[in-house]
Chain A
Amino acid sequence: MAKNMTGKRQAQGNMIFLVSLAIGVVIAIAVAGLMFNRVLLERTRAQFALDALAISLASKINPGDRVGQVNRLQEASRELVFTSRQAVNACSSQELSGFSRLSNMLLDEARAGHALVENERVNQIAVIRKEVLEAVHGYENKREDNGVMGFMSIQTNHPKVVRVDLGRIKNVDSNIESLDAIPELYEFDRRLGYVDIPSRLFKCDINAKLPVPDDDLAYRFCSLPAYVGKTCSPPRNTNFDAFKSFGRVFFNGVDTHETLDEIPDALQITTSMDVDMADAAKKQSSLATLSTVATGVCSGATSESE
């Protein structure tokens, strides 16, 4: 018995076994390659879908050039307060007491007008936030209805929106040009660095205060691609690192209550896509979670600052 067990094995059948093993290994490698390719393909498709979503959401920020109009209102209010103050000063220096009451009244109206403009600016931030969130919830509801896509026991879920940030694009100033119609104001703006000298556009992220005693009024121009040479910047995608966030408005399926101080001109969406694998018993197990980010910029101003 022991002799039989330790004896010479039959050579016939060895090659069949080795060739079958080789075929099995080749097929296994090919199937693994196909699955990996499938996951990569789905990731590319998800990125494309996310880019499209980012552009369609960004289009909701500045329809009808409302952001540009708020900037123009800010500029007009600023000039009105400045010129009204000049008129009050002129009346007092030239001892025109008959006009001083009228000029003071005009100044008060100009300052009250600034409060209205500021209220509208805050209102536009809320409106933009609401419309973007409605579109995000619309996408999420549609995604849940669409279900999952399956292929060779791999199931790829549609990308889920994890986070939405509103903000602006770095190095983009406002659409408002500082005109030299009021030389004193233009010189003041230049001296305090409110204006980008080569383009003459007001910078964003600053409080363009007027000289004392009107420095209690805040003038915030928001970032928006300017209307240049009859060309308006269309909504587009941009690199994620060019984005500066003002705050999150959506996180893990819930609207956040973070306060935004500025009108945004761009948004950034982060999504995650679960890739599951089903075994023979149709039991799902997570294979990978792929994360994708897309940044969308709204359309620019559609007319020149006046």
Chain B
Amino acid sequence: MTIFSGANLPYRRPSGASLVEVTVGSVVLFLVVIILVDLGLLIYGVSLNDAVCRDAARKSASGNPVNAQSRALLLIEQMNSRNSGFVSHFRLVPPVKTEITSQPKLRRNPENDQLVNPGGLVTGSVTVTTEVEITPFALQFVLGRNSPLKFQSKQSFPISYVLPPD
């Protein structure tokens, strides 16, 4: 029995052909969605790392510049313990760079001839670099890499500290 008169093609049911098309199309759609999810994860991770770096820069710039690195480390530790989701391994890339442009100069006390700290504003900036490692679900196979992808963020913030007088 033939449907098309004069044709020698074997009979194919339309529902079967559609099934094949949907199957092939679904596989492609699935791959596209997986890749988009991975891309989203990467962008989320980069944004989060950016935010952590900004917060770390702000935190390390607020206070005595001598302890800038320890303040940044503390904040990153807190962020790592709080973000228990997909991305939670932020790392401080040492050193925290502190650039001081002005600070109060020691003055000689005329009464006892000793140097005293008059106190005053310390100006400059603190630069913090943070790194995050992200292991994408499918892109890793596409890229053929075994190690996670690493992203860095670098942020600077002006120092806000007033050295107390002696």
Contact = CB atoms under 8 A, between A and B. Distances in A.
Interface in A224-260: 230-236
Given A12-B14, A37-B47, A19 B39 contact: no
Contact of A52 (B24, B158, B165): B158
Interface residues of B, number: 37
A37 B25 contact: no
A62 B121 contact: yes
A234 B156 contact: no
B33 A26 contact: yes
Chain A contact-residue range equals 35 or more
A19 B28 contact: yes
B93 interface: no
B38 to A, nearest CB: 11
Contacts of B47: 37, 41
B160 interface: yes
Contact of A41 (B50, B62, B165): B50
Contacts of B123: 56, 59, 63
Interface stretch (B15-23, B67-75, B107-115): B15-23
A12 B58 CA distance: 61
Interface string A1-35: 00000000001111110111011001100100110
B148 interface: no
Contact of A234 (B24, B26, B62): B62
A3 B6 CA distance: 20
Interface in A42-88: 44-45, 48, 51-52, 55-56, 59, 62-65
> Which secondary structure dominates where chain B touches chain A?
helix
B9 to A, nearest CB: 12
A118 to B, nearest CB: 26
B160 A55 contact: yes
Contacts of A44: 50-51, 54
A230 B17 CA distance: 84
A64 B121 contact: yes
Nearest to B62: A234
A41 B47 CA distance: 7
The 9 closest A-B pairs by CB, nearest first: A19-B25, A15-B21, A11-B14, A232-B162, A234-B160, A56-B158, A235-B160, A30-B36, A15-B18
26 contacts: A12-B14, A14-B18, A15-B22, A16-B21, A19-B25, A20-B25, A23-B29, A23-B32, A27-B36, A30-B36, A34-B43, A41-B50, A56-B123, A59-B158, A59-B160, A65-B120, A232-B162, A232-B164, A233-B162, A234-B160, A234-B161, A235-B121, A300-B162, A302-B118, A302-B162, A303-B119
Interface of B: 14, 17-18, 21-22, 24-26, 28-29, 32-33, 36, 39-40, 43, 47, 50-51, 54, 58, 62, 102, 118-121, 123, 155-158, 160-162, 164-165
